[in-house]
Structure 1
Amino acid sequence: EGVGRGKGFGLHEVMDQAGALAGPLLFAYMLIHFDYSRAFLTLLIPGALAMIFVFTAWSLYPKIKSVEFSPKKISFRGVGRRFWLFVLSMTLQSLGFVHWAIASYFLKYWGILGDANIAILYAIAMGVDALIAFPIGYLYDTIKFKSLYIAPITTLTITLLLTTRVTTLAYVMAVLWGVTMGVSETIMRASVADIAGRSRLAVAYGIFGMLYGVSWSIGGFIITLLLQLSAPIAIGYATLTQASSLLMLAVLNRQISSESPHH
């Protein structure tokens, strides 16, 4: 509290991605030099440390204002029109966001990269996600919802780069994929907290998480089919979804600007 939602979620994502990189590397090292049993036993160390830090945080901060709950019944009402505009925009974005599993499949299927290089690409994406999280969180605290424009733009560019089937551009695609995930894990979460308000925060996160996940799954099925059929059609689909997402974001930002005390 007092850090700023963007920077707070950014810091969380940095730590999350640091673990996402360090954990597999630690496991791989132990597996290469020893066996599965010792490799899995080694993971007890970060697991135990995580529990120690949780209990330490609980003892230092037993009550946190931002997570206080109300005994009221759960209701989907009252989250506001701005919240639904935000959810609509982000679900449209996720409909055209190529999941890494799909991107890596086509990188292999089209003969762009081999397994080892695809693994390196994923490490690059995760590294970028970690590096971008805090700066992008700071950007959100500065310009708020206007920072969300990044997501549809990078999402569309990912599809464009993937369909070129150029090896060098695949690395650029990985960088942009990491940026997009950084936006998703950082400023989208911060946006929910700012738009919904404390009394509806839990329900708002639940609604957003459910709809974003469902739309990403549906979009993954659609874009996989389209990439198999025709790259131009897949690009057209990505353009339509991301243009629609940008339009909804523009409506949202216009509404917020008109409601601000400066207008």
Structure 2
Amino acid sequence: MSEEVAAPRLTPWRFVVVFGVVSLLMDVVYEGARSITGPLLASFGASGLVVGLVTGAGEAAALGLRLVSGPLADRTHRFWAWTIGGYVLTAASVPVLGFAGVLWAASALVIAERVGKAVRSPAKDTMVSHATAVVGRGKGFAVHEAMDQVGALAGPLAVAGMLALTGDYGPSLAVLAVPGVAAVALLFWLRARVPRPEVYEPAAVAKERPTIAGSARLPRAFWTYATFTGATMLGFTTFGLVSFHLVTDGLVTAAVVPLLYAAVMAADAVSALVTGWAYDRMGPRVLASLPVLSAGAVALAFTSHVWVAVAGTLVWGAALGIQESTLRATVADLVPPARRATAYGVFAAVLGAAAAVGGGLTGALYDASPRALVVTVVGIEAAALLLLLALSRARAPGAQA
């Protein structure tokens, strides 16, 4: 049974940019909420361990559940349905978070928002990857991530403004329903104009590695970099724990945390653009900067000196920019289109397992001794860097599996 595929009504760059606007609007929603997750949970009596476990579990859900959503997206080919469903779940969870009332309900909503990201991300990244095959993997994902961060900058600023006006988490988060509705509406508009984004890629795929494209299994190089990035996540703490430290240690007030998070998102955007362009020239070697930045972030952020801690949070944002742009570009280059959503799901599951362990580990170490936390994380990231160097010598990223 043959099916005529309509030509897309947007160029690849316009598709990337419009999808970037969707992500921008949704980042206003969930990054606005994440900017105050630590202080919000603390207001319900959470300890450092609880904040670490909840935020770590949230990241584990956002990453680990993609092991299910990725293969299902590949199997069903309903990439738009998975994408829209995930965005709707996030848009519905955040506005009611401020009215949770009790710690368990707030924790459940924090995790539910992250589940929405798990539902949509493999399908969304796969659709974007088709367009980036034409415009450049690194540049395409970098521009998409930079637009994300415009929203990630605006969201915390909006929450900070509302907190200053009302002093209440409820209305400060409820206002985020507006960009959530706008994002979902724009997503439907984009689907109507590009119902099959995969039509962007065939010409580009023909020039790539045909032996990999014909394989039913994920390439060995994919597993190499999944192992490395999983190792880096073991020592990559959450912003929830960082903000918990800043507030409970008296370095900043809760109202300042969203402003700081906005600056962190700006650092994320700059890092994504720089490493994205570098990736198109140098390949996955740019990932060597990830464990260095991750270790530096913890070493600086968990001090008792306000400006050193602030610098550490900005370094944390730079590391996050690499995770959310260049890592996705690497997966798209290593895995053929027919298995790409599965690969994004498996890759995220590896990171999710590491995030769950890392969230609990860093939270427990912080409660015991911030110095022990720093020493442990620096050791983990040093081992991750050595692993990357060893694996890169054993097998070049572009080698056939």
TM over 0.5: yes
Percent identity over the alignment is: 30
CA distance in 2, matches of 1:28, 1:52: 31
CA distance in 2, matches of 1:188, 1:20: 19
Which of 134, 152, 161 is the matching residue for 1:20? 152
Does the 8 Å CA contact 2:235/2:381 hold for their aligned counterparts?
yes
SS in 2 for 1:165: coil
Question: What residue in structure 1 maps to residue 185 of structure 2?
Answer: 48
Quote the offset at 1:180 in angstroms.
0.9
Work out whether 1:140 is the aligned partner of 2:272. Answer: no
Question: What residue in structure 1 maps to residue 138 of structure 2?
Answer: 6
Question: What residue in structure 2 maps to residue 197 of structure 1?
Answer: 336
Distance 1:224 1:29, change over 3 A: closer
Work out whether 1:115 is the aligned partner of 2:254. Answer: yes
- The count of corresponding residues between Structure 1 and Structure 2 is 251
Question: What residue in structure 1 maps to residue 297 of structure 2?
Answer: 158
**1:63-95 CA deviation, whole Å, 9 max, x = no partner?**
3337x9xxxxxxx97223322221111111001
Does the 8 Å CA contact 2:218/2:339 hold for their aligned counterparts?
yes
Work out whether 1:225 is the aligned partner of 2:364. Answer: yes
TM, length-normalised to structure 2 = 0.56
CA distance in 2, matches of 1:252, 1:80: 14
Distance 1:106 1:52, change over 3 A: same
TM, length-normalised to structure 1 = 0.83
RMSD: 3.1
Does the 8 Å CA contact 2:300/2:308 hold for their aligned counterparts?
yes
Quote the offset at 1:147 in angstroms.
0.5
Does the 8 Å CA contact 2:301/2:308 hold for their aligned counterparts?
yes
SS in 2 for 1:79: coil
Question: What residue in structure 1 maps to residue 376 of structure 2?
Answer: 237
Does the 8 Å CA contact 2:152/2:262 hold for their aligned counterparts?
no
Distance 1:174 1:197, change over 3 A: same
Question: What residue in structure 2 maps to residue 63 of structure 1?
Answer: 199
Does the 8 Å CA contact 2:221/2:399 hold for their aligned counterparts?
no
Which of 230, 238, 244 is the matching residue for 1:105? 244
Quote the offset at 1:11 in angstroms.
1.0
Does the 8 Å CA contact 1:125/1:174 hold for their aligned counterparts?
yes
Distance 1:29 1:48, change over 3 A: farther
SS in 1 for 2:186: helix
Does the 8 Å CA contact 1:86/1:248 hold for their aligned counterparts?
no
Distance 1:46 1:80, change over 3 A: closer
The 10-residue stretch of structure 1 (50-59 or 98-107) with the greater mean CA deviation from structure 2: 50-59
Does the 8 Å CA contact 1:158/1:177 hold for their aligned counterparts?
yes
SS in 1 for 2:236: coil
Counterpart amino acid of residue 65 in structure 1: E
Point out where structure 2 has 5 or more consecutive residues left out of the alignment: 1-132, 206-214
Distance 1:108 1:53, change over 3 A: same
Counterpart amino acid of residue 54 in structure 1: R
Higher RCO, Cα 8 Å, sep 6+ = 1
Work out whether 1:210 is the aligned partner of 2:349. Answer: yes
The 10-residue stretch of structure 1 (82-91 or 144-153) with the greater mean CA deviation from structure 2: 82-91
**1:2-49 CA deviation, whole Å, 9 max, x = no partner?**
21111111011112222333356567778969x96x946743344423
